[in-house]
Structure 1
Amino acid sequence: MKIGMIGIGDIAKKAYLPVLAQTKGIELHVCTRNEETLKEMAETYSIQHLYQNIDQWLASGITAAFVHSSTESHESIIDKLLDNGIHVYVDKPITYNLESSTRLMKKAESKGLLLMVGFNRRYAPPYMKLKELAEPNMIVMQKNRGHHAGEARQFVFDDFIHVIDTLLDLFPYPIEDIRVRGKQENGLLHHVVLQLESAQGTAIGIMNREAGTSEEKVEVMSATETRKVINVNEVISHIDKDSLTLGSDDWQPTLEKRGFHGVIATFLEAVTDGSVSPNHYQRDLQAHLIAEKIVETLG
């Protein structure tokens, strides 16, 4: 199966090429305008099918493509891929606004093509352990950074959208209310707090970009147990005064632990099988809908 990749930045080099280069049964076709990057791909991964021209790349016979270019370029590239009948995997977000993201998702659905967003944390084994906890009554996720206050739309769509999607994935109840708070100074967003409410529980997402450090932690609580994950690593279970580490594996590769193996395999399997779940399009769009609400609320 011929698989394309366009845009070879840090995430492609660190997370996707190492996995795809070792995946059996695929022939990788890589497109980037940077000639030095093409040489690096040929030397590092022995990739033979390299392109600087997007039209030649589109005509190569690829069945599906991974889009790792700048977010600003996503819309035009995805349009071209869908127009050529090619399934798409795109780094989050689809675009920087809900309107264009919705248009592209509806276009993919109308053509019977997959448009999958790279929410790798859904497939991270430590976070999948959190989903085993029955009837959670509260979920709290923090994904903090130091000295990275930024423009609100980019802050929310580029980074906080991971928190939004992880909460949606872990929170099993219909959302009845959404509350948003944030701190802005001199045109920059410093922190944001999202609260999702249902009759059965609450999910809270926090990102502080002036926290002095980079840290990610998630707690899922129920009446009988609390489970915690720090920095997408092992799961710690707390029951009464006892604590137990669940599923810790120091030998598990980082890319597998962070969900990249799982999300890539899921996309390739869906392309091969031609199977798309009925709720896929709305599910991958939902985080964008809440991201847009956050930006509008913060003004």
Structure 2
Amino acid sequence: MLNSYEQRIPVFVDKPLSTDYGNCETLYNLAEQVRQPLFIGFNRRYLPILQEPLSLESEASPLLFLRWEKNRHNLPGLPRTFVFDDFIHPLDSVNRAAVVNTEDLLISAQMLGSGVNRIDVQWQSGSTFIQASMNRLNGMTNERVSLNYENRSYLFDSFQAGVLQENNQEQIIRLSDWTPMLATKGFYGMIEHWLDVVSQGKLTEDVIARNLSSHLLAETICQQVEKCIR
């Protein structure tokens, strides 16, 4: 990465940028010095099936609840591997506003032996209750997302289909037939954004703030969990 910046080349890094938050700040300071964008690949920010439900949020229609749950089967691990390599996906996905105060986090961790098998985190952002959860001793690998507006709820058990609940009725939501898998999982949207960043030669401040905030959340959680297993 340092060689790329010495040559003034934009850099794309798959998440995480680093497993140490201090390194993340250092790298973004370097990117600012050489005036080149440092892009982090969070494909879940671009999931097509969630774009419309999340776009409904406004002052007149605030998002009241957002939960992102990602589970693995039989894969407990050390805190930094657990959080930065995997749990950072749910954390970043719910950290849309990037204004959370780390002192407001409620963190729960479950451990068997020296490994971590479950972490749950929650906080409140304005009127929105936010939760991120990962169980790595789950019965099967899956991912679930829940959103709630006033008398309007969305449930997703995959990134291809979901359910809208409104007026005590349910409506199935699906992507168009033959939607490519890479589009379904947000990679098309992510690459389009990356190419636009390269074309513009810069990353917007709100994206940089979210990138750093999500890594700071991960660092805060790691430090608390690491204290519990020393």
Which of 200, 218, 221 aligns to 2:145? It is 218
- CA distance in 2 between partners of 1:237 and 1:194 (Å): 25
Q: Which residue of 2 aligns with 1:112?
A: 35
Q: Tell me the alpha carbon deviations over residues 73-119 of structure 1, each in whole angstroms, 9 at most, x when there is no partner.
A: xxxxx222112211011110011110111111111122211111100
Aligned 8 A contact 2:36 2:202 in 1: no
Aligned 8 A contact 1:173 1:198 in 2: no
> After TM superposition, where is structure 1 displaced by more than 6 Å over at least 4 residues in a row?
none
Query: What is the TM-score of this pair, normalised by structure 1?
Result: 0.70
RMSD: 1.5
- CA distance in 1 between partners of 2:2 and 2:163 (Å): 43
Which of 192, 216, 222 aligns to 1:265? It is 192
**1:98-109 matched pairs, under 5 angstroms:** 98-109=21-32
Give structure 1 stretches of 5+ with no counterpart.
1-77
Amino acid at match of 1:100: N
Q: Does 1:160 align with 2:87?
A: yes
Is 86-95 or 227-236 further displaced after alignment? 227-236
Cα deviation for residue 132 of structure 1 reads: 2.3
- CA distance in 2 between partners of 1:212 and 1:204 (Å): 21
Q: Which residue of 1 aligns with 2:100?
A: 175
Q: Which residue of 2 aligns with 1:14?
A: none
Q: Which residue of 2 aligns with 1:207?
A: 134
Cα deviation for residue 250 of structure 1 reads: 2.7
Query: What is the TM-score of this pair, normalised by structure 2?
Result: 0.90
Q: Tell me the alpha carbon deviations over residues 116-173 of structure 1, each in whole angstroms, 9 at most, x when there is no partner.
A: 110001111012233123311111111001100011101100000000010012xx58
Aligned length: 220
Q: Does 1:284 align with 2:211?
A: yes
2:105 is paired with a residue whose SS is strand
- CA distance in 1 between partners of 2:207 and 2:128 (Å): 24
Give structure 2 stretches of 5+ with no counterpart.
none
- CA distance in 2 between partners of 1:81 and 1:193 (Å): 37
Q: Which residue of 1 aligns with 2:71?
A: 144
1:212 is paired with a residue whose SS is coil
Is 268-277 or 215-224 further displaced after alignment? 268-277
Cα deviation for residue 174 of structure 1 reads: 4.3
Amino acid at match of 1:126: I
Cα deviation for residue 247 of structure 1 reads: 4.6
Q: Which has the bigger relative contact order, CA under 8 A and spacing at least 6?
A: 2
Q: Which residue of 2 aligns with 1:84?
A: 7
